[in-house]
Structure 1
Amino acid sequence: MATQPPTLIDTNWHAVDFRLPATDGRTYTFTDIAGAKGTVVIFICNHCPYVKAVIDRVVEDARKLEADGIGFAAICSNDAEAYPADSFANMAAFAAEHGFPFPYLHDEDQLVARAYGAVCTPDYFGFSGDRSLRYRGRLDDGRTGEPSPDAPRELLEAMRLVATTGEGPAEQVPSIGCSIKWKG
């Protein structure tokens, strides 16, 4: 079932630290992935049609943002027992297949997703250099298909604004996707 994050964001909310294993064999904290000018954390999974539709554009925009000094990471928090496609081994295969230039982290106990208030895949969190939440929108207007021809790259543009001004856009359209698959 499709769901959306809240439309209003709390700009006084700061990124919660974490320590999670990644598909590259390392363990990362928020500090490890943080960029000097901002950081994007997205909650995704391997099986969601919304994620599958945008993942190559996510990778493209992540490369651009990392070149601009913005850190980037993806987190999978889905219950892999109930959804085997989201297992750690399948996460590694998904990251390799799409050439992730960023860490793909496994939130097996789902504590990070709960701490962030993540509700769907994909769910985008854009933080300023001081870890303040500045963006909780979408990648672009493409949902389960390609974006319209002249569609703005909303995440990319928002994070470039955050990097230069410390503020996010006044108007943000929430993402939509499959709900996080919570454990029992």
Structure 2
Amino acid sequence: MAVAPPVCDFGWKAVDFDLPATDGKRYRLADVAGPNGLLLMFICNHCPYVLRAMERIVRDGAELQGLGIGVAAICSNDAAAYSADSFENMVKKARDWGLSFPYLHDEDQTVARAYDAACTPDFFGFNAAGALQYRGRLDAARKDAAAPGLRRDLFEAMKQVAETGAGPEEQVPSMGCSIKWK
């Protein structure tokens, strides 16, 4: 069932965490934040919305890192009920997708609850001060193939955040599969 998160709560402060990653390290908020901001995305291994968008997510994440935006992905789904989202499968997917950013495991779902994550993918874009500036979609393709020249909503918003510290006032919520809660 498709779920859309609420609109951006401008200025809401990023919540710290300490999570294991597919690269064998642990990361806190300060470890993943960049000098110009941070993009946290809640994704998973099996969601059709994420799978159709992963190539664009990887591209935009790498390009945003080049603009001084830290990037990290978090999987919070209940792996006992959805084995495709197990940590072992996260390690495989991170390698297969060629992620240039940490893929974190929120096994007890406390981080997803603290952020009020609603779906996969759910994007949270923060400025350098850790204030929320973007909670919108990747682009208009959703789980369809992206048309050539499609506006890159997330990338453009986070580029603006990197340059000005503020996100766009007009944002279209993301849409995806619900977080699989325990």
Is residue 7 of structure 2 the alignment partner of residue 4 of structure 1?
Answer: no
Alignment check: 8 A CA contact 2:11 2:133 kept: no
2:121 aligned residue: 122
Supply the distance in 2 between the matched residues of 1:94 and 1:149 (Cα, whole angstroms). Answer: 26
Supply the distance in 2 between the matched residues of 1:104 and 1:90 (Cα, whole angstroms). Answer: 11
Alignment check: 8 A CA contact 1:141 1:148 kept: no
> What residue ranges of structure 1 are gaps of 5+ in the alignment?
none
2:77 aligned residue: 78
Query: What are the within-5 Å matches in structure 2 for residues 81-100 of structure 1?
Result: 81-100=80-99
Aligned residues with identical type, % of pairs: 60
2:146 aligned residue: 147
Query: What are the within-5 Å matches in structure 2 for residues 48-63 of structure 1?
Result: 48-63=47-62
Supply the distance in 1 between the matched residues of 2:31 and 2:72 (Cα, whole angstroms). Answer: 10
Q: Secondary structure at the residue paired with 1:126?
A: strand
Query: What are the within-5 Å matches in structure 2 for residues 103-122 of structure 1?
Result: 103-122=102-121
> What residue ranges of structure 2 are gaps of 5+ in the alignment?
none
Q: CA RMSD in A?
A: 0.7
Question: Normalised by the size of structure 2, how large is the TM-score?
Answer: 0.98
**Runs (4+) of structure 1 moved beyond 6 Å?**
none
Supply the distance in 1 between the matched residues of 2:131 and 2:66 (Cα, whole angstroms). Answer: 21
Supply the distance in 1 between the matched residues of 2:147 and 2:130 (Cα, whole angstroms). Answer: 32
How far residue 117 of structure 1 moved from its aligned partner, in angstroms, is: 0.5
Alignment check: 8 A CA contact 2:72 2:103 kept: yes
